[in-house]
Amino acid sequence: MEKFLIHGGRRLEGTIPVSGSKNSALPAMAAALLTDQPVTLDHVPAVRDIRTMGRLLADIGASVERSGNRYTIRAERIASPEAPYELVKTMRASSLVLGPLVARAGRARVSLPGGCAIGARPINLHIQGLEKLGARIRQEHGYIEAEAPNGLKGAEIRFERVTVTGTEDLLMAAVLADGETVLENAAREPEVADLAELLGKMGADIEGAGTGTIRVRGVAPLGGAEHRIIPDRIEAGTFLVAGAIAGGEIDVCGARADHLGALIEKMQEAGAEVAVSAEGSMRVRGGRRLAGVDVATREFPGFATDLQAQWMTLSTQAHGASILTEGIFENRFLHALELGRMGADITITGRQAVVRGPSVLSGAGVIASDLRASASLVLAGLVASGETVIDRVYHIDRGYERIERKLAAVGALIRRVE
């Protein structure tokens, strides 16, 4: 099993490029199942979840060709509308093939997904929406089996709570449904808007993506398209936090500041110096005195839950107390115990964490519990004295494209070892 070895205390200087968004590329790949024509995606990150999705699409019957960060997917026919457990047990995004398979093939058998141990992310909202579109669904032996032999019919669907993958899944189902579908209380995340842009290039009729109400008029058949995946806002945010706490000056290039408004606002409130260029790159200068700032995670455009762990590491270096409230998941403070092993002062009560700083962190052996927790431990290792050893880095490989190489290129002493 691979690990990261990090020797902290190094200033970061230089430029870090941002990869394409994993959370945008995964639904875009699933969308290729909606047509028998080729769909070409550029700027796809080379991360573990993308490879898993590629294997899943090939297992379903699509041809998947990769050239660097460019994928061409063609599903001329759906040979097996199934997502087996062995393929998807490590990836939450497996549920994204449910809607496209039912819409295109009239049936689907999808394993209940796996992924990070950060709390319940039930798929019931997907199921309820598909039932409103006319699908018959049953659950048995760990699988969801859906059938719509006569096709899907447009419907009005209001989500009980905001769900990103649920919005994406039902959006893909609705583009081939007969009639108009209205999705209320839809997710407004940039990844949803990016998926809608791809679907529009394929011929779909969609209005309101990026708002709380999305209208879809079914169009069949859809055609092929070429599309460039948006930059990964979570990766960019991780590097901004790294620059703020590690000292020096780094440019995070290729990202979109309008996707990171909540983080940039909180960083500036804490005293970090973040400047956005006209070209979209962001420069952060470290070494400044940081103040504790309270953060509550919520849906976009609020502070992203996927940046909460990284913010906790920043808070360990800030003066005063910071209160972090996790508003999305109920079990997303597992990294706090590992940060405590490194010397952080963190108290957890329910969905709130109180971080008192600044703490002098020291290197220790720690274990990554999930994707974003891994990133928080890497950030802690950058500022800790001595050597930090992070075990189970396969979690971070699910969503970061060789993070150790990018950080090493700007001066971090970090390497991957067996």
The answer for residues whose C-beta is within 8 angstroms of residue 19's C-beta and 6 or more apart is: 43, 45, 46, 47, 69, 231, 232, 235, 400, 401
Distance CA 155, CA 174 (A): 9
Nearest alpha-carbon partner for 335 in 316, 319, 358? 316
Distance CA 299, CA 189 (A): 8
Active-site position among 116, 183, 334, 361: 116
Write phi, then psi, for 50 (nearest 5 degrees). Answer: -65, -40
Q: How many CA atoms lie within 13 A of 7 on its CB side?
A: 5
Task: Please check whether residue 70 is in contact with residue 44, taking contact to mean a CB–CB distance below 8 angstroms.
Answer: yes
Task: Please check whether residue 64 is in contact with residue 58, taking contact to mean a CB–CB distance below 8 angstroms.
Answer: yes
Task: Please check whether residue 78 is in contact with residue 36, taking contact to mean a CB–CB distance below 8 angstroms.
Answer: no
Identify whether 253 is a catalytic site residue: no
* SS3 assignment, position 399: coil
What is the total residue count of the chain?
418
At how many degrees (to 10) do helices 308-316 and 334-341 cross? 30
The end-to-end CA distance of the chain, in Å, is 6
Distance CA 37, CA 34 (A): 9
Distance CA 329, CA 307 (A): 13
Task: Please check whether residue 388 is in contact with residue 342, taking contact to mean a CB–CB distance below 8 angstroms.
Answer: yes
What's the longest Cα–Cα distance across the chain? 64
Strands of the 345-349 sheet, one edge to the other: 295-296, 320-325, 352-357, 345-349
Task: Please check whether residue 220 is in contact with residue 196, taking contact to mean a CB–CB distance below 8 angstroms.
Answer: no
Active site residues: 116
